[in-house]
Structures are given as structure tokens and as C-alpha cells.
Chain A
Amino acid sequence: MGEEPFRADLHIHSVLSPCAEREMLPHCIVLEALEKGLNIIAVTDHNSDENVAVTMELGCRFGVWVIPGIEIESREEVHLLCYFPSLERLRSFTSYLTAYLPLLTLNENLCGQEWVIDDDGKIKERKNHLLTHSLNLSVEDVCERVRKEKGIVIPSHVDRKAYSIVQVLGFVPPQLPVSAVEVSRGLSVKKARETMDLGRYRVVRFSDAHSLSEIGSAYSTFYIKTASWQEFIMAIEGKNGRKVSA
């Protein structure tokens, strides 16, 4: 059996992220992904996973593989996409984070709203503290904790002017256990490599969608045998003939 192409957009914000449009409901995200021909997606809200379970459930029902994920903001104000082999691993990771997120009251007029959605698509909870804030954990702390939960880290939009590891820390710290970096949808991989020293890192592109129309506006193709975590990791690490192209 050979490798098959799986189209993946693994950076999507739901209505739990205050910066996302209110149309970014898990149900709408999954249907939009189907319409765009995506095989794999991830809902990666800021510092929280509370809309992941519902999206995974919907993904199961509609035939889209939803990888458990989250986008972390480190102490240095670096954004990191983190993915896990199971919902339990993700939850164990996020329960650890709670102690490191300062409790700031959410100003809905200024920052937007943060909604947790239930299986019926209704608002289950409106969060009242701000999620889009830096955790008191360094990029190294985050990577170590993700590794403990058997997950992987992909630094977000490394080409951007804000919240990018390259911008904030000057370069990707060489010891950081990272195999791939994400570049923004506006930039080709070729251009990214020309303008930045991305050396040994594999480059992926995802949409960072904050509205439905943006979903799938950038995606990476994983050449893997089955939609499984092991295959996904092999592609990210470029092992056993599995690969990812962006």
C-alpha cells in the first residue's frame, strides 16, 4: 500500500478565540472543511481546548480527521501550535496550563467574546477571563510539557511581525525539539526559505483561519498511508517515505 495525499489545515480558530468571527462554530468549521476538500483539520484556540471535543465528535460523524490541538502563547509572546495523539493527552496538557495563565477579566467590547459550544451547536458557556494572553512558561517549558504528553510543537507563522518565534527570539533556538515550522498563508515556502534561515526545519502552511471563508485558504498535503497519529508524525519528521508538502 502506498502513501496517499491528505489535505490538512491544522490552524483554525473557533468562537472560543475572541479574535475569531462568530460564524466559527464547530459545526460550520467541519462542514466548511468538507466543502473545501480537507481531510484533516485542527481547531487551535488560544491557550484553551474547550471546543476541541465537540469538533472531534463532528469530525468523526462527517469523515474529517480532527487532530487535538491548541495554540499556546509563551512567556516571550511566541505562538506555538501544539498537537496531541488523543483528547486525553491534550486535556492533561491544558489542565497543567491553568496555573500559568494570569486571570485577566475579559473585556468583550475590546477583545471580543469567548464561547464554548455544546454538541447541539448552542453556546454552553461564555468565558469571562481573557485567553489571548501569554502564559508564564518559556518556549522550552511548553515544548517539554508537550513532549511529556507525546505531542508535537510547530511554531506558528514564523514569518509574521508579531508572535513569531523568529521575530521575537531572533531565530529558532537550536536545541528546541521542533521538526517543522508554520509559515503564513500569504507566503510561499520558497519565498519563506529565501527570506529566512529555516535550515533543517520542514515547512508547513496552514490558514490560521478566523473566518469560514479562510478555512483551507492554505493547507499542507501529507503523504501518508492512513489517517493516523503515527503516520502524521512520520510525515512531519520526514521518515519512512512519508512527507508533507506545503
Chain B
Amino acid sequence: MKAIKIVEPLRAKVVVEGSLAEVEVTGGYCGDLLSDCIAHATEGSVWITIQSHPNTIAVAVLVGMACIVVTNDQDISKQTIERALKENITLLSTPLTSYQAVSALSKLGVPGTRKHG
């Protein structure tokens, strides 16, 4: 599924577009500990998190995530946005909680994925 398809069901605001229209979402991961996401999130996944620190962008690049969804209307700093622009990472913001966002993606048929099984 193209990443653009998840914007409406998540009631998301597009903070940084990146390659929203083209990029393919192949799975999903939810987590707020960036070290855990580095270890377990899969390439092509949509990442549901409440963390909006600039390091999230580096983690998304490292893992090759399709996009980041920052939940709970968490403030996103200028530094994070600048970094996402620089790295061409799609960054969405939603008023939904992480649970609600995962639930919405699940209804769309996005499977939960995890590295190493």
C-alpha cells in the first residue's frame, strides 16, 4: 500500500512530505525506545511513536522506514522537521494515540512486522 493511503484514516497532518506518494508501506512497528526500533523495526514499515526527537529521523533512515507517525499531537521541533526534510523522510502527525493509530492501520490491513521473526 502507498503511504499516502494511511494519511486520512490516521487523521494525520503531513509535516514533511518526503516521498509520501510513492513510498510503499509493507508493515508496521510501534515503539518509543529508539534503540528497540533500531533493533526490531523492519524496512518499509510505518513507525508509530510518541517520540519526536531529531534522532527519530536518523533511526528511520537507518532502518529504511517508509514513514514516521508521531502520535498524540506531540510537538515536533524545528530541528526534527529540518532533519526530515534533509533526509527526505515522510513525517506525519496525528491526534490519535499510538493504540488508536495502530488500530486504524490494522483495519487497513497493514501487518505488524518485526526483524528476526
Contacts and interface: CB of A to CB of B under 8 A. Distances in A.
A169 B32 CA distance: 9
Contacts, number: 32
Contacts of A170: 34-35, 37-38, 55, 58-59
B55 A169 contact: yes
A97 to B, nearest CB: 18
B33 interface: yes
Nearest to A196: B35
A167 B59 CA distance: 12
A168 B79 contact: no
Measured as residues with beta carbon below 8 angstroms from the partner, the interface class of chain B is 10 to 19
Chain A interface mostly helix, strand, loop or mixed? helix
Contacts of A166: 35
7 contacts: A167-B35, A168-B33, A168-B34, A169-B55, A170-B35, A170-B58, A171-B55
Contacts of A88: none
Given A140-B77, A169-B53, 15 more contacts: A76-B53, A138-B77, A139-B53, A140-B79, A167-B33, A167-B35, A168-B35, A168-B51, A169-B51, A170-B35, A170-B58, A170-B59, A171-B58, A173-B54, A173-B55
Interface of B: 32-35, 37-38, 51, 53-55, 58-59, 77, 79
Considering the complex of A and B, which 5 residue pairs feature the smallest CB-CB distances, nearest first? A170-B34, A169-B55, A167-B35, A170-B35, A169-B34
A182 to B, nearest CB: 17
A167 B38 CA distance: 10
A166 B36 CA distance: 10
B82 to A, nearest CB: 12
